[in-house]
Chains A and B, each alone.
Chain A
Amino acid sequence: MQLQRTWLVTGSLMPLAIVALFIGLKAGSVPLSFAALADALVGRGPALAQDILWQLRLPRVIAAFCCGALLAGAGTLLQVLLRNPLADPYVLGVSGGAAVGTLGAMAIGLAAWTVPAALAGAAAAIALLAAVNAAAGGWSAQRVLLTGVVIATGCGALVSLLLALAPEAALRGMLFWLLGDLQHARAGGLALAAVGVFGLCGVLLGASLNALALGAVKAGSLGAEVGRVQGAAIALAALATVGAVLLGGTLGFVGLIVPHVMRRLAGSDHRFLMPNAMLAGGAFVVLADAAARTVIAPQLLPVGVLTALIGVPFTLWLLARR
């Protein structure tokens, strides 16, 4: 991949993300023009518009962006870490744990406790993953992958059980959450800052991740701190996944496909791939969420349906090229 092309893609992603944010802000029951939105952002124009923007739409759009960015970033890290192109953020089992926690809370009617329940579930899943691998003696990409997949499958079975036993009233909410639901998602500056820090860490690890793609032995002989990089990357990926799941449920497709698409478009140098994937993932979820709200308005679709419906044909087209 030529360096110029990589810079071109990276350079154009930030303005594209901003455009996506504006499109996301436009979606909603009250029609607001782009001009009105721009005014409300800088504090001019009618108070109602400003309220709608700042209290309702901006937090939602920021949540969507953060969710997508975290998922795409985590997917990028895990694909190089586990040396597997099919790895996605849910492969560690961490999101399965969070799902069991969240849906468990929803099923017994404690909807207000979903966040701590999700965190508890995620922590349990990661503890189990770490314990199994520590007992087996040290790091092996294959064993981590298998353990995570088994834990995720187990959590999937528990989720099915919860769905089967849950009362009718809670069921719809639970299903939407499973498919990716940004309806009640709110996020602000803190979430954006966290995403920024995550991205920066990813860029700092980028050169070492490039070396890791050669295999752990060769990377070590080139001077990469293999153990530390692997540990840091897995921790970052797990935290990012939990963050994304807390924001938008188990939103599928983004973490798996966005890294591949960006690799195709701009190469697999991880110093660029991390920010590329995160910006693209964030923008993609914002647009999908906007579509989820408007396609069959006033009914809402789960965002996960839109990410798949838009993402699958696009990726197939990309794969069929050249």
Chain B
Amino acid sequence: MSAGLVLLAAHDLAVGHRGRSLLQAVTLSIQAGQCWFMLGPNGAGKSTLLAALAGTTAALSGRVEVDGRALEDWRRGALARRLALLPQAEDGLFEGSVEAFVALGRFPWRGRFGLPALDDAAIIASELAAFELGALAGRPFEQLSGGERQRARLAQLFVQRAPLLLLDEPFTHLDLRHQVALVARLREHCALGAGAVFAVVHEFGWTVQTADQLAFAYPDGRFETGPAQTLLDASRLGALLGCQFTQASVGGRQVWLPQT
């Protein structure tokens, strides 16, 4: 049982653009089995931090280690089998079927010529079914609605079969029903023991309130992590989101609502 194994550790990281730092002194330890949500207002540097953790952009200073090894020491292909990233915006030009789109998530497991691995077909089929894309598998990707595309991008992420998932705004465009299903899927991924999830959201809705670990990216550049029970208090939320919150207990669960 590998729960407790540190999958990703960030040491005194500073991230930003063109020398100007957005977040400083970021220290983070993501262990197997943990489900993290990162919360903060727009412009706080959440997406920038996620990109630095995934190794797609360089941090301004500090160190990131995946499985105990520094990011710079990882070969790209090997890293992709341990860490999967769902970026926010889609800046591509993909033409092809939904199934071909989802199949691209198997890239790290394929050979030089892109020849599929033996279990590719089964994995792709199971994720298409999990995200209710079975009927759309043969449809051209461009014809999909926003919510369907997001589900396809999530299916593409999950076929990558990486234990550590970094997601940037995964709930955008999704119907409530699919948001509920995604939260369940993410928790299941963590509960299986060897995986972890780190998701960035900017909206303090019901999804964030299901996390067991939280990371707060304050507008003044501070970064704080901890268990959800500790971090969810009125003064912290007020400093983070610039709103007053009231707390209520609903069916045994703590719920936070902004005061209007």
Stretch of B29-37, B84-92, B207-215 on the interface side: B84-92
B150, CB-defined interface residue at 8 Å: no
Closest residue of chain A to B84 (Cβ to Cβ) is A221
Q: Are B92 and A1 in contact (CB under 8 A)?
A: no
Residues of A within 8 Å of B113, CB to CB, are 203-204, 206-207, 271
Q: Are B92 and A213 in contact (CB under 8 A)?
A: yes
Chain A: minimal CB distance from B198 (Å): 13
Q: Are A222 and B105 in contact (CB under 8 A)?
A: yes
Residues of A within 8 Å of B81, CB to CB, are 223
Known: A211-B107, A223-B77. A85 touches B93 (CB 8 A): yes
- Counting chain A residues whose Cβ lies within 8 A of the other chain, the interface size class is 20 to 34
A76, CB-defined interface residue at 8 Å: no
Query: With the chains together, A1 CA to B144 CA distance in Å?
Result: 16
Most central of A204, A211, A223, A267 by chain B CB within 10 Å: A223
Q: Are B114 and A271 in contact (CB under 8 A)?
A: yes
Residues of B within 8 Å of A215, CB to CB, are 87, 90-92
Query: With the chains together, A194 CA to B80 CA distance in Å?
Result: 34
Closest residue of chain A to B160 (Cβ to Cβ) is A222
Closest residue of chain A to B140 (Cβ to Cβ) is A1
B108, CB-defined interface residue at 8 Å: yes
Q: Are B51 and A207 in contact (CB under 8 A)?
A: no
B147, CB-defined interface residue at 8 Å: no
A218, CB-defined interface residue at 8 Å: yes
Q: Are A217 and B85 in contact (CB under 8 A)?
A: yes
Q: Are A204 and B80 in contact (CB under 8 A)?
A: no
Chain A: minimal CB distance from B72 (Å): 14
B73, CB-defined interface residue at 8 Å: no
A268, CB-defined interface residue at 8 Å: yes
Closest residue of chain A to B108 (Cβ to Cβ) is A223
B27, CB-defined interface residue at 8 Å: no
Most central of A83, A204, A213, A222 by chain B CB within 10 Å: A222
Closest residue of chain A to B95 (Cβ to Cβ) is A268
- Counting chain B residues whose Cβ lies within 8 A of the other chain, the interface size class is 20 to 34
B112, CB-defined interface residue at 8 Å: yes
Of residues 34 through 83 on chain B, the ones whose CB sits less than 8 Å from some CB of chain A are 51, 54-56, 76-81, 83
Residues of A within 8 Å of B112, CB to CB, are 204, 207
Q: Are A207 and B92 in contact (CB under 8 A)?
A: no
1/0 per residue, CB under 8 A from B, across A192-211: the answer is: 00000000000110110011
Chain A: minimal CB distance from B244 (Å): 37
Query: With the chains together, A210 CA to B97 CA distance in Å?
Result: 13
Q: Are B80 and A210 in contact (CB under 8 A)?
A: no
Q: Are B96 and A222 in contact (CB under 8 A)?
A: no
The 7 closest A-B pairs by CB, nearest first: A207-B114, A223-B80, A221-B85, A223-B77, A215-B92, A215-B91, A223-B108
Q: List 29 A-B contacts (CB under 8 A).
A: A1-B96, A1-B97, A80-B93, A83-B93, A207-B107, A207-B112, A207-B113, A210-B114, A213-B94, A214-B104, A215-B87, A215-B91, A215-B92, A217-B51, A218-B85, A218-B87, A218-B92, A220-B55, A220-B56, A221-B54, A221-B80, A221-B85, A222-B80, A222-B105, A222-B107, A224-B107, A263-B95, A267-B100, A271-B114
Known: A210-B114, A217-B56. 11 other contacts (CB 8 A): A83-B92, A203-B113, A207-B110, A207-B113, A210-B104, A214-B104, A217-B87, A222-B160, A223-B81, A224-B107, A269-B100
